[in-house]
């Protein structure tokens, strides 16, 4: 039998040709990883390459008959048929036995090794003594391992120290030996948990060990730099969101919580472990602290929480102000996400609401007496006057003035004078009805608007206010003294051009009360009509 020519092992040829169809078809290829029994070839497309063909390497003899062992999109693993036939013949002559399963397994193993040599995942096979049996090309490139070193079947610990010596690990020099020893211990123990190796060049490689039946190990090394970088960025984002003052909730399309920051975990009384189980939004709001302290019946609570879930699902309330049972004001914002989920943010605006209320009070309330100031009293009075003009409902007003207020200031001082004003304001506040509106117009002058009140009813209110003022007692200079008030009142008439005319009428009645001796109430009456001259 003609001896097959030995192939040039370990070299790469850029000008190989695949010859088939009795020499009528030819495909250019690159020949890599040649061995005595096969090679890996690269082509533009592996489609159409037959199972049996000849491989021609210019300058290396005649075409060699080959058999396709495996193929990918652009690569084909082949077995030299002449070498395979020679091995089978030698095995048959030496043993005198027919070809068996061992030869089939050997061919499959060769094909598998060739396939592992072209994948992008680093693969390291160790025997039971932790010595390498196979190191694929990706591993060698990944760790800059020379072929001369890899082909000597180094021990796993030697490979780890190769990484140390080439400064591949992002580990401090003082800790590197302990790091290597720990990695060797875990592989020897058969720890299958994935471990991410961080390299000094910024790359991250995921290492995972698989235990083999023969006591050996198969270790895979996969680049996960982008995945880990995204995970790191996500962790930074999570940490940032955990430290913002607003509450943040991320829901999926089924309204299950994907993320709760620390603020919301505290607000809803949820631990990190509970949040990691991705609870439904409805259970979070139902089981939050004080959830049942809303003064509602169970049916009302069910309806309330169902409406909250529906609003978030529909996105019908992008902004909503909530008030908690402990008196805080929370502004909730709901934003739809591209994946069908929702992002909810909760901002505590209690201070803003309180400040707004204080600003409103400063704009509408007299700071000394706590009554409405002149501007706000006029605003409310204008609204009541419009209602009077529209429906002709009764409307009256009182004008109240502290008697001899200047004398009180001169005798006891302005501080006592202020106390007198507060006492009169308290008498007005206590003597008014819930619908009545009272304000301080300035100095010692007060006004009270009485909706749905005619002149007779106004007289009752006016007298009640006057009596309350008289009943009070103030203390000054070690003694007690009293103040009195004069009250003038008037009822609205259709002939009046506006509220100012009504207030002027009550003021005229007030002046009459003062003229008649003070500490009394006087009703305004329109002046008598002028008599016509006799014709």
Contacts of residue 36, defined as CB under 8 A and 6 or more positions apart, other chains included, come to: 6, 7, 9, 80, 83
> 331 pairs with which residues across the strands?
321, 347
Task: Kindly report the backbone phi and psi dihedral angles of residue 416, in degrees, each rounded to the nearest multiple of 5, phi listed first.
Answer: -70, -35
How far apart CA 272 and CA 249 sit, in angstroms, is 13
Question: Cβ distance 281 to 251 under 8 Å?
Answer: yes
Helix (H) or strand (E) holding 361: helix 350-364
**Number of other residues whose CB lies within 10 A of the CB of residue 47:** 9
Q: Which of 444, 500, 516, 535 is catalytic?
A: 444
Query: DSSP secondary-structure letter at 174?
Result: G
486 burial (CB, 10 Å; 0-12 / 13-18 / 19+) is buried
The full DSSP string for 401-424 is EETTHHHHHHHH-HHHHHHHHHHH
**444 classed as catalytic:** yes
SS3 letters across 302-352: HHHHHHHHHHHHHCCCCEEEEECCCCCEEEEEEEECCCCCEEEEEEECHHH
User: Measuring CA to CA, which residue among 170, 218, 157, 226 is closest to residue 197?
Assistant: 170
SS3 for 435? coil
SS3 letters across 53-73: EEEECCCCCCCEEEEEEEECC
How far apart CA 95 and CA 372 sit, in angstroms, is 117
Two tokens, residue 219: 């270790």
How far apart CA 279 and CA 259 sit, in angstroms, is 10
Two tokens, residue 502: 């009504």
How far apart CA 195 and CA 504 sit, in angstroms, is 89
Tell me which long-range contacts 43-52 makes (C-beta under 8 A, separation of at least 24).
43/18, 43/74, 43/75, 43/76, 44/74, 45/73, 45/74, 46/71, 46/72, 46/73, 46/74, 46/75, 46/76, 49/18, 49/20, 49/76, 50/20, 50/21, 52/20, 52/81
User: Measuring CA to CA, which residue among 326, 259, 321 is closest to residue 294?
Assistant: 326
SS3 for 470? helix
Question: How would you classify the pairing of strands 64-71 and 195-198?
Answer: unpaired
Question: Cβ distance 258 to 341 under 8 Å?
Answer: yes
What are the catalytic residues?
444
């Amino acid at each position: 039998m003609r001896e097959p020519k030995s192939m040039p092992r370990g070299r790469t040829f850029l000008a190989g040709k695949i010859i088939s169809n009795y020499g009528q078809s030819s495909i250019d290829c690159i020949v890599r990883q040649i061995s005595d029994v096969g090679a890996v070839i690269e082509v533009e497309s592996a489609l159409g390459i037959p199972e049996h063909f000849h491989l021609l390497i210019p300058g290396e003899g005649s075409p060699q008959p080959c058999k396709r062992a495996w193929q990918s999109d652009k690569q084909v693993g082949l077995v030299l048929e002449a070498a395979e036939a020679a091995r089978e013949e030698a095995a048959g002559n030496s043993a005198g036995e027919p070809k068996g399963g061992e030869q089939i397994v050997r061919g499959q193993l060769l094909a598998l090794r060739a396939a592992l040599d072209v994948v992008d995942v680093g693969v390291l096979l160790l025997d039971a003594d932790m010595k390498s049996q196979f190191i694929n090309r990706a591993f060698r490139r990944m760790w800059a391992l020379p072929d001369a070193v890899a082909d000597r079947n180094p021990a796993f610990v030697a490979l780890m120290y190769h990484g140390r010596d080439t400064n591949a690990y992002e580990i401090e020099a003082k800790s590197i030996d302990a790091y290597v020893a720990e990695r060797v211990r875990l592989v020897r123990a058969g720890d299958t948990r994935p471990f991410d190796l961080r390299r000094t060049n910024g790359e991250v490689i995921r290492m995972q060990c698989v235990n083999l039946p023969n006591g050996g190990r198969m270790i895979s090394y996969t680049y996960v730099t982008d995945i880990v970088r995204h995970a790191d960025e996500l962790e930074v984002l999570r940490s940032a969101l955990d430290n913002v003052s607003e509450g943040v909730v991320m829901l999926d399309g089924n309204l299950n919580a994907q993320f709760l920051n620390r603020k919301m975990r505290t607000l809803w009384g949820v631990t990190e472990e509970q949040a990691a189980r991705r609870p439904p939004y409805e259970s979070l709001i139902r089981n939050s602290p004080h959830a049942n302290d809303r003064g509602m019946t169970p049916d009302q609570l069910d309806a309330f929480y169902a409406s909250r879930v529906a609003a978030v699902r529909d996105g019908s309330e992008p902004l909503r102000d909530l008030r908690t049972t402990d008196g805080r004001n929370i502004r909730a914002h709901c934003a739809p996400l591209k994946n069908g989920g929702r992002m909810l943010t909760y901002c505590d605006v209690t201070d803003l609401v309180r400040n707004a209320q204080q600003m409103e009070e400063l704009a509408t309330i007299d700071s000394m007496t706590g009554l409405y100031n002149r501007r706000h009293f006029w605003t409310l009075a204008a609204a009541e006057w419009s209602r009077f003009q529209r429906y002709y409902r009764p409307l009256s007003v009182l004008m109240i003035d502290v008697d001899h207020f200047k004398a009180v200031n001169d005798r006891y001082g302005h501080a006592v004078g202020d106390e007198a004003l507060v006492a009169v304001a308290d008498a007005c506040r206590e003597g008014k009805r819930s619908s009545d509106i009272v304000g301080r117009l300035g100095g010692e002058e007060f006004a009270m608007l009485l909706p749905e009140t005619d002149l007779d009813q106004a007289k009752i209110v006016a007298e009640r206010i006057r009596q309350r003022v008289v009943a009070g007692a103030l203390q000054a200079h070690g003694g007690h003294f009293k103040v009195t008030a004069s009250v003038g009142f008037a009822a609205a008439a259709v002939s009046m051009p506006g509220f100012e005319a009504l207030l002027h009428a009550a003021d005229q009645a007030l002046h009459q009360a003062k003229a008649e001796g003070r500490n009394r109430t006087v009703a305004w009456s329109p002046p008598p009509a002028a008599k016509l001259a006799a014709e």
